[in-house]
Amino acid sequence: MIYTANFMIRGHTKKYSFLLRNASICIASVHLHAQTEEVSSVCSTATLRHIDYRGVGYDTGYTTLEGLYFPARNTNPVWPFIDLRVHGFNDNEWAANAGVGMRLNMEDSLKVYGVNGYIDYRSDHNRDFHFFQGGFGVERLGEHWEIRINGYLPITKKKSILNCDFDFPGDFFVGRNKYRGPFAGVNGELGYIARFRRFEFYGGIGPYYYAGSTCTQPMGGKLRVNMKWRRYITLEGILTHDNVFKTRAQGQIALHLPFGCDPRRGLKQSILSRPVYRNEIIVLDTFCKWETNF
């Protein structure tokens, strides 16, 4: 009987050990799956916003419909995205942006590094002229500090919008040609984020420089501050000053709709899903050239 009891105890011990090992494996799998789910999706966002009054290179406000989409759903630290924007100006001009990029999520850190490339479009209010430019940018995002640098290169050259010829006795003439053309340029920004309960406050400052087809070369700085409530509403103020467009102040309101994830996810997902900030409107200059034969 003693041998039988010992055998039964050993049998039950092996059985319980087997069950405990399997339970541990199941718990570890559930924990790993939960971790995978935590980092497996970044919020895509649809945004409707309006900005007024005039800014650098344009003289009226505009309304924007924007979609920022993160297609990946995995634990890969590289997160590609697609960014599409359409802008309708108050004076009937139109503009648009189509961009792609990627963000690198550093493990065990809230630092995110990104690169992006864009094709930008802008028309005049009669849509007789169409301008295109290429853009590129790099960014470093974090819990509090952000830094970004963007560059812009015209694809479309200057376009003649008005020609006037004046004839004088003796076969002399004076010609005045009016052109409109895009600038090549670069801008940067250093910003800081502070949080209080469900509000997020941002302040950023940085320089910009543009070189056009003439001696006109706007060079100045931009100050940008905003307040965001959760992930749904943003109020923003912008102040710029340079030697060409002088001082310009703007206000913006934006409504955001996160999709493709739980909008209550953690801080890392919030950092990854921040919008790309750049000068989305092609900076245009209107200038004249004179021709004479005397």
Q: For the chain, which domains are there?
A: 44-292 (2.40.160.160)
Q: What is the pLDDT of residues 216-237, one digit of tens each?
A: 789 999 999 999 998 899 999 9
Q: Confidence class of residue 159 from pLDDT cuts 50, 70 and 90?
A: low
Record the tokens describing residue 187, joined without a space. Answer: 């801008």
Q: Is the pLDDT of residue 78 over 60?
A: yes
**Contact yes or no for 68/47 (Cβ under 8 A):** yes
Average pLDDT over residues 41-65: 94
What does the alpha-carbon distance between residue 223 and residue 41 come to, in Å, rounded to a whole number? 32
What was the pLDDT predicted at 219? 95
Amino acid letter for position 21:
R
**Which one, of 207, 211, 108, 126, lies nearest residue 162 by Cα?**
126
pTM as predicted? 0.79
**Which one, of 81, 84, 65, lies nearest residue 73 by Cα?**
81
Average pLDDT over residues 28-46: 57
What was the pLDDT predicted at 52? 95
Q: Is the pLDDT of residue 162 over 80?
A: no
Record the tokens describing residue 221, joined without a space. Answer: 């700085």
Record the tokens describing residue 127, joined without a space. Answer: 């849509």
Q: Confidence class of residue 109 from pLDDT cuts 50, 70 and 90?
A: confident
What was the pLDDT predicted at 216? 76
SS3 state of residue 197: coil
* Residue that wins the pLDDT comparison between 80 and 156: 80
What does the alpha-carbon distance between residue 223 and residue 206 come to, in Å, rounded to a whole number? 7
Q: Confidence class of residue 129 from pLDDT cuts 50, 70 and 90?
A: confident
Cis peptide before 208 (omega within 30 of 0): no
* Burial group, residue 71, by CB count within 10 angstroms (0-12, 13-18, 19+): exposed
Amino acid letter for position 145:
W
Write the CA distances from 1 to 7, 11, 281, integer angstroms.
Answer: 10, 15, 91
Q: Is the pLDDT of residue 156 over 90?
A: no
Q: Is the pLDDT of residue 207 over 90?
A: yes
What does the alpha-carbon distance between residue 71 and residue 74 come to, in Å, rounded to a whole number? 10
Residue listed under structure tokens 């942006």:
97
Average pLDDT over residues 118-127: 88
SS3 state of residue 203: strand
